[in-house]
Structure 1
Amino acid sequence: MEINFTIEGSPVGKARPRVTRTVTYTPKKTSQYEDLVRYTAINSFDGCFYNDEPVDVKIVAYFPVPKSWSKKRKALCLANKELPTKMPDADNIGKIIMDGMNPKRKLNKQLKKMVEVIRGLYKDDRQVTKLLVVKRYAERPRVEVRVKRDTGDYNE
């Protein structure tokens, strides 16, 4: 089973949680992007990886070429001769995509435990045993994600 989906728009990295005296919370931009990832992933496929099977994830983040750059430099970017070394970091892109594919949970005060509000693509991102995050330039900014069962082959 293999799932492919695309999140349109510029890639977003996972921001650090914010801490106040009374509460720790996720920044709004991060939680909104995770919801977009979850919505896109669920609507692209009916099933999910809920039986604790190992998962292989490939993420390709396409950034827009800066408008201020010359035509020559833009051509180099689009030919993958010049690669994006700007923010967000590849690990933060991977974190936000993988957390977005988790189920959304909220605290149920009557039950005093976390309950699933919206299902995810898998039970938890602990199931991810192989992860590849690639950053590239493109005319159309987007993030392409491929999720499949990990067969254990390292060279695959």
Structure 2
Amino acid sequence: MAYAKDRLSFWVDGPIKGEGRPRVTMRGTYTPKATREAKARVRAAALAEMPEGAPTPLFSGHFAPVAVAITTWRPLPASRPKAVTHEADTFMPDVDNVAKLVMDALNGIAWEDDRQVTSLSVTKSARTRLRSEMMLVQVWSDETADVPTEDGRGEVAADA
């Protein structure tokens, strides 16, 4: 999609996966293959949108605040009646697991560590018959992170 000095947007095609639970065996702990493959697709899509010579990570410095927006689209299963044209995507994976997978995949590419993310939005769009499975990831500098905010009582926080 696009790369700018303080913004990166890219599409990830293929099945939408969430971060899988680590598996523990007698031989040790490992990450499931589906999770490793999904992270590799996210990393490849991000790197494909960054021009040669762009800094890696894009937002370096432990104090560089970053905002992330993730939007997913998935088709309706073929088993749904033809009269159903769309429905809310309330099925797996959970939005928190999708976010964790994307944030872990972008460590070292978009930011040094995902603790730099100060704003996060994940949206699972309604499933329709017209869309294939895809995800849009947008990352930008969160310049508003140091702006004073209200403390919940309508007053500006004293430490701001």
Task: Report the equivalent of 2:88.
Answer: 83
Give how far 1:68 is off: 1.8
Out of 58, 63, 66, the position equivalent to 2:77 is: 66
Counterpart Cα distance in 1 of 2:115 and 2:83 = 43
Out of 10, 30, 35, the position equivalent to 2:40 is: 35
User: Within the alignment, does 1:132 sit opposite 2:154 as a pair?
Assistant: no
Give how far 1:9 is off: 1.4
Q: Normalising to structure 2: TM-score of the pair?
A: 0.77
Q: Give, as a single letter, the amino acid of the residue that structure 2 aligns with 1:20.
A: T
Superposed structure 1 runs of 4+ greater than 3 Å apart: none
User: Within the alignment, does 1:15 sit opposite 2:7 as a pair?
Assistant: no
Deviation per CA, 1:18-54, whole angstroms, max 9, x where unpaired?
1123421111110111111111112212331112310
Give how far 1:151 is off: 1.8
Report the secondary structure of 1:132's partner residue. Answer: strand
Gaps of 5+ in 2: 1-5, 150-160
**Cα RMSD over matched residues?**
1.8
Report the secondary structure of 1:152's partner residue. Answer: helix
User: Within the alignment, does 1:25 sit opposite 2:35 as a pair?
Assistant: no
User: Within the alignment, does 1:49 sit opposite 2:59 as a pair?
Assistant: yes
Counterpart Cα distance in 2 of 1:93 and 1:63 = 13
Q: Normalising to structure 1: TM-score of the pair?
A: 0.78
Q: Give, as a single letter, the amino acid of the residue that structure 2 aligns with 1:85.
A: T
Q: Give, as a single letter, the amino acid of the residue that structure 2 aligns with 1:72.
A: A
Counterpart Cα distance in 2 of 1:14 and 1:41 = 18
Equivalences, count: 133
Q: Give, as a single letter, the amino acid of the residue that structure 1 aligns with 2:74.
A: F
Counterpart Cα distance in 1 of 2:83 and 2:120 = 33
Q: Give, as a single letter, the amino acid of the residue that structure 1 aligns with 2:140.
A: K
Gaps of 5+ in 1: 104-119
Q: Give, as a single letter, the amino acid of the residue that structure 1 aligns with 2:115.
A: R
